[in-house]
Chain A
Amino acid sequence: MAGDSVRLSKNLLRMKFMQRGLDAETKKQLEEDEKRIISDEHWYLDLPELKAKENLIIEEKSLVPCEGLFYGRLSFRGFNPEVEKLMALLNPKDKKEEEEEDDVSHMQTDVTDEEMALRYESLVGTLKKKFAKKRERATMDEDDVNQNIVEKNSKKAFLKPQD
């Protein structure tokens, strides 16, 4: 594209249809920049900052959160399966049930961790063998999977015959 053929004016850029293409970020930046332009005519109160007092009393008009009431649709013995799904989804969960769920999932990950470690031990060895050359493979086979070094017989060297 030919560079800078038409320069758009500031007012044109501020129009709504030009703003639609902008990101949310650039929009926010533009808004902030406009706010920062404070001229002398802008009046402000010369007072210390007032803190809103924190209200420790909450007014709750409904009984539902106070008593932990269940969801209003109930189904018994599978009469309406969709409602039973909603019940499972929307009812406040029991604390005990939640703890049990945590334990089960914890146990599952424990087992998989051990399984993973065992699997990786053998996996590393197998892949190493695949890419090793023939001579190295021969020496490798002597080693144990767990790297327990078996005593090797020393290489057979030439023994000078005794006179």
Chain B
Amino acid sequence: MGSNRCCSEYVPAKGETVIGIITAKSGDVFKVDYGGSEQASLSYLAFEGATKRNRPNVQVGDLVFAQFVVANKDMEPELVCIDGSGRANGMGVFGAAGLLIKVSLGLVRRLLAPHSDLRADLEQLFPCELVVGMNGRIWVRAASVQQTLILANLLQSCDTMTAPQRQQLFRRIQMGAL
């Protein structure tokens, strides 16, 4: 199961959405860490409704859900938080009251696959929301701190479990053992 390797580094690809962390603000551009070999740039105008006078409320340390518009080996990668028509479509700053974890790239693929068992299992668990970045970062939030922690641990252990083991763990959680 090559997709369980947790040391494979993410390589940016145009059009993919990732979770980035704002590391610096230099002039009109933010520097974003997405877990790759270099940092990406994110223009302050690349947010929905942003203009030169109406700057978006983005601080160093914020989490952003963004997509790559430039991603090749010759140029610095560039991110934006809007689509072609200028709409956010769920992208932008987020992160209040949740937890960010690092998982393998294979788990992201399994989580977002069209007919995913993992997603079906999560649906049976408890109300929660996730933001999944193709760079192997997942942000989770549930109704209580405890549930959020359970969810985070669950997803991180999914990397090293087989499907039956995972389903057993899910059942234990559902019955309130943890």
Q: Which residues of A are at the interface with B, using a C-beta cutoff of 8 A?
A: 61-64, 67-80, 83, 86, 90, 92, 94
With A68-B114, A79-B143 as known contacts, state yes or no: A73 contacts B65, CB within 8 Å.
yes
Q: Which residues from 14 to 73 on chain B have a C-beta closer than 8 Å to any C-beta of chain A?
A: 14-17, 65, 71
Instruction: Give the bracket for the number of chain B residues in contact with chain A.
Output: 20 to 34
**Is there an interface contact between A73 and B127, defined as CB atoms closer than 8 Å?**
no
9-residue interface stretch from B74-82, B130-138, B156-164, B167-175: B130-138
**Is there an interface contact between A64 and B114, defined as CB atoms closer than 8 Å?**
no
Would you call the interface of chain A mostly helix, strand, loop, or mixed? loop
With A70-B114, A72-B112 as known contacts, state yes or no: A77 contacts B90, CB within 8 Å.
no
**Is there an interface contact between B131 and A72, defined as CB atoms closer than 8 Å?**
yes
Docked pose: A90 CA to B131 CA in angstroms: 14
Residue of B nearest to A85 (CB): B90
Q: Can you sample 29 A-B contacts with CB below 8 Å?
A: A61-B14, A61-B71, A62-B16, A63-B13, A63-B109, A64-B13, A64-B16, A64-B134, A67-B109, A67-B113, A69-B112, A71-B90, A72-B131, A72-B132, A72-B133, A73-B65, A73-B130, A73-B131, A74-B132, A76-B122, A76-B128, A77-B123, A79-B127, A79-B129, A79-B143, A83-B90, A86-B90, A90-B89, A90-B90
The contact string, 1 if C-beta is below 8 Å from chain A, for chain B 101-125, is: 0000000010111101001001101
Output the least CB separation between A78 and chain B (Å): 6
B152 touches A (CB below 8 Å): no
- B15 neighbours in A (Cβ, 8 Å): 62, 64
- B142 neighbours in A (Cβ, 8 Å): 79
Output the least CB separation between A149 and chain B (Å): 63
> Pick the contact of A77 from B116, B119, B126, B130 — CB < 8 Å?
B126
- A83 neighbours in B (Cβ, 8 Å): 90, 129
- B123 neighbours in A (Cβ, 8 Å): 76-77
Docked pose: A90 CA to B90 CA in angstroms: 10
- B119 neighbours in A (Cβ, 8 Å): 74
- A72 neighbours in B (Cβ, 8 Å): 17, 65, 90, 112, 131-134
Docked pose: A31 CA to B17 CA in angstroms: 41
- B134 neighbours in A (Cβ, 8 Å): 62-64, 72
- Which interface residue of B65, B89, B130 has the most chain A CB atoms within 10 A? B130
- Which interface residue of A69, A72, A77 has the most chain B CB atoms within 10 A? A72
